Amino acid sequence: MRVLLDSCVWGGAVAALREAGHDVEWTGSWPADPGDERILEHVRATARILVTLDEDFGELAIVRGLPHFGIVRLVNLSSPKQGAICIEVLARFAARAPTNGDYHCGSRPDSYSSRRRIARGSTFGIVRRHASPETALRCVTRRAIVKAVVYRQYGPPDVLRLEEVDKPVPADDDILVKVRATTVAAGDWRMRKADPFAARLYNGLFRPRKVTILGFELAGEIEAIGKDVRRFKNGDRVFAFTGFGFGAHAQYRCLRESGKITKVGLVAHKPTNMSFEQAAAVPVGGLTAQAFLRKAGIRADDQVLIYGASGSVGTFGVQLAKHFGGRVTGVCSTANVALVESLGAHDVIDYTKDDFAKRGRSYDVVFDAVGRASAARCKRALRRGGRFVSVEGSAKLRADDLDTLKALIEAGKLTSVIDRKYPLEQIADAHLYVERGHKKGNVIVTVPHDDRGQSA
Ligand SMILES: NC(=O)c1ccc[n+]([C@@H]2O[C@H](COP(=O)([O-])OP(=O)(O)OC[C@H]3O[C@@H](n4cnc5c(N)ncnc54)[C@H](OP(=O)(O)O)[C@@H]3O)[C@@H](O)[C@H]2O)c1
């Protein structure tokens, strides 16, 4: 096998390859201009496999139709051990890359150049920048395709498209979850429409860039784990909040075992007494209600008012406030009075008939769980020293919050309310419904898999 290696970090690989009897040319470092025709000619004439760390050169190689190239972008393959792994990576390329650009490994599957390569029929494996060689090796597999709901422009529900995307590959501290159920939450339609405008500052001014697959929460089974994962094993059933990376509206989602919660989310074993659908409805509403009620510091026998008691956050808010020892009053419309009572509220106020702020009753805690009551109105209903919290504000999640919810669910103290269910291909209808702002609890999206063989 003749191999051309282009970068100085491949020293260990070069030594190992030569030791194994391969004919290796090592340029040490690549000349500045990757578009230099002489270099391209040289590569064309000599290399069986080009291994490059240079995205531009890799791109050019594909575009110019250089023969029999696999392109792998690995970092830090400088030790003999890593070199040995490199041989195996290259051997796989040699065995499986019969045509130009058949394989491409990179760290940015969403980049323009990667998409173009995929469109040209190349196989894409994702190698994260700091992936171990072992992980990199796992990535060199045939391109696996799965389904996901992708949006490439802000707007109404019909910007959502069910598309084929690359199956994610877990990094060393990731689990790969086969998603069975997810939800459409308020945050999903807000992000789809970029409402409020600040969503654009996070996700791209003119079109979605950082997040193109929505979905905040999921439940499913672990299909693969990275080598550093400790808390989970293959086959475990989990539920998760995906954090601001979203991405749950897909057949597969990689999740980090631990890390900064807003960024990587939270994952825990699924409550044993819940279905995937029931469990998928827990994380966003449950974690949010728990965090805000903790912020409010409920004490035993506190009078607690939950405004918007029939939404996802509100239904969990009623149950959790009661669990924390509060005497709970829920505020909702006529149609939801029975629901809120069934969740354990001691008193229910129908906001279409009565204004909680003018009833002459006061509370130790007022939690606006839907963000529709003004702070001034809520504060009018507070006792001296009372606390007001609102979903319009922010509250901190803790690493064990999802485990706490799981324990409460298994103890029969908490349940999720499901309003409607939609299959993944009808997710636009689910968005339309949720955006009206009157869902009761949660709207589930079921995710299909062909379980007879390949998942997609
Ligand atoms: N800050 C955070 O970290 C955080 C996290 C999660 C969610 N959120 C926010 O929390 C809010 C609630 O989300 P959600 O998923 O629970 O529910 P949602 O879909 O926003 O609201 C649905 C519920 O709100 C009730 N509702 C609508 N208008 C109301 C009003 N004027 N007064 C009282 N209730 C009213 C509806 O009941 P009726 O049909 O009876 O009116 C319905 O049950 C969203 O704005 C979301 O963006 C914030």
Instruction: Report d(CA 298, CA 322) in Å as an integer.
Output: 10
Query: Please, which residues have CB within 8 angstroms of residue 4's CB and are 6 or more apart in sequence?
Result: 24, 25, 26, 27, 43, 46, 47, 49, 50, 51
Contact between 1 and 48 under an 8 Å Cβ cutoff? The reply is: yes
On whether residue 400 sits in a domain, the answer given is no
Q: What's the pLDDT score for residue 317? A: 98
Q: What's the pLDDT score for residue 25? A: 60
Q: Does residue 295 sit in the same domain as residue 275? A: no
173 - beta bridge partners? none
On whether residue 360 sits in a domain, the answer given is yes
* Cis-peptide into 283, omega within 30 deg: no
Atom 2, ligand 1: which residue's CA is nearest? Answer: 391
On whether residue 198 sits in a domain, the answer given is yes
The closest of 281, 282, 276 to 179, measured between CA atoms, is: 276
On whether residue 399 sits in a domain, the answer given is no
Decide: 306 in ligand 1 pocket, CB within 6 A. no
Q: Is the pLDDT of residue 62 over 90?
A: no
Decide: 372 in ligand 1 pocket, CB within 6 A. yes
141-166 pLDDT tens trace: 444 678 999 999 999 999 999 988 87
The closest of 250, 61, 35, 25 to 147, measured between CA atoms, is: 250
- Assign residue 317 the CATH number of its domain: 3.40.50.720
On whether residue 304 sits in a domain, the answer given is yes
Q: Does residue 377 sit in the same domain as residue 428? A: no
Q: Does residue 255 sit in the same domain as residue 303? A: no
End-of-domain residue from the set 88, 104, 139: 139
- The range of the structural domain enclosing residue 237 comes to 145-282+418-446
Instruction: Report d(CA 357, CA 354) in Å as an integer.
Output: 9
pLDDT grade, residue 8 (50/70/90)? very low
Instruction: Specify the ligand 1 atom closest to the Cα of 308.
Output: 34
Q: Does residue 208 sit in the same domain as residue 296? A: no
What percent of the chain is predicted at pLDDT more than 90? 61
154 - beta bridge partners? none
Q: Does residue 104 sit in the same domain as residue 184? A: no
Q: What's the pLDDT score for residue 72? A: 43
Overall number of domains in the chain: 3
> How far does the centroid of ligand 1 lie from the alpha carbon of residue 370, in Å?
3
Q: What's the pLDDT score for residue 16? A: 57
Backbone φ and ψ for 368, nearest 5 degrees, come out as -85, 100
The closest of 129, 168, 29, 15 to 82, measured between CA atoms, is: 15
3-class secondary-structure state, position 181: strand
On whether residue 402 sits in a domain, the answer given is no
- Regarding pTM above 0.85, the answer is no
Q: Does residue 296 sit in the same domain as residue 168? A: no
Q: Does residue 123 sit in the same domain as residue 154? A: no
Decide: 437 in ligand 1 pocket, CB within 6 A. yes
Decide: 351 in ligand 1 pocket, CB within 6 A. yes
Q: Does residue 260 sit in the same domain as residue 328? A: no
Contact between 243 and 276 under an 8 Å Cβ cutoff? The reply is: no
Angle at 73 between CA 70 and CA 78, to 5 degrees: 115
- Assign residue 37 the CATH number of its domain: 3.40.50
> How far does the centroid of ligand 1 lie from the alpha carbon of residue 311, in Å?
5
Angle at 399 between CA 240 and CA 243, to 5 degrees: 45
Q: Is the pLDDT of residue 453 over 70?
A: no
> How far does the centroid of ligand 1 lie from the alpha carbon of residue 312, in Å?
7
Q: Does residue 160 sit in the same domain as residue 250? A: yes
164-220 pLDDT tens trace: 887 887 888 999 999 999 999 999 999 999 999 999 999 999 999 899 999 999 999
Q: Does residue 19 sit in the same domain as residue 70? A: yes
Q: Does residue 17 sit in the same domain as residue 89? A: yes
> How far does the centroid of ligand 1 lie from the alpha carbon of residue 302, in Å?
23
Least confident residue range of 53-62, 63-72, 252-261: 63-72
The closest of 301, 313, 259 to 441, measured between CA atoms, is: 313
- Assign residue 242 the CATH number of its domain: 3.90.180.10
Decide: 312 in ligand 1 pocket, CB within 6 A. yes
Decide: 317 in ligand 1 pocket, CB within 6 A. no
407-447 pLDDT tens trace: 999 999 999 999 999 999 999 999 999 999 999 999 999 99
Q: Does residue 135 sit in the same domain as residue 157? A: no
On whether residue 264 sits in a domain, the answer given is yes
Q: Is the pLDDT of residue 98 over 90?
A: no
Decide: 332 in ligand 1 pocket, CB within 6 A. yes
> How far does the centroid of ligand 1 lie from the alpha carbon of residue 88, in Å?
53
Q: What's the pLDDT score for residue 167? A: 80
Decide: 187 in ligand 1 pocket, CB within 6 A. yes
End-of-domain residue from the set 109, 139, 169: 139
On whether residue 405 sits in a domain, the answer given is no
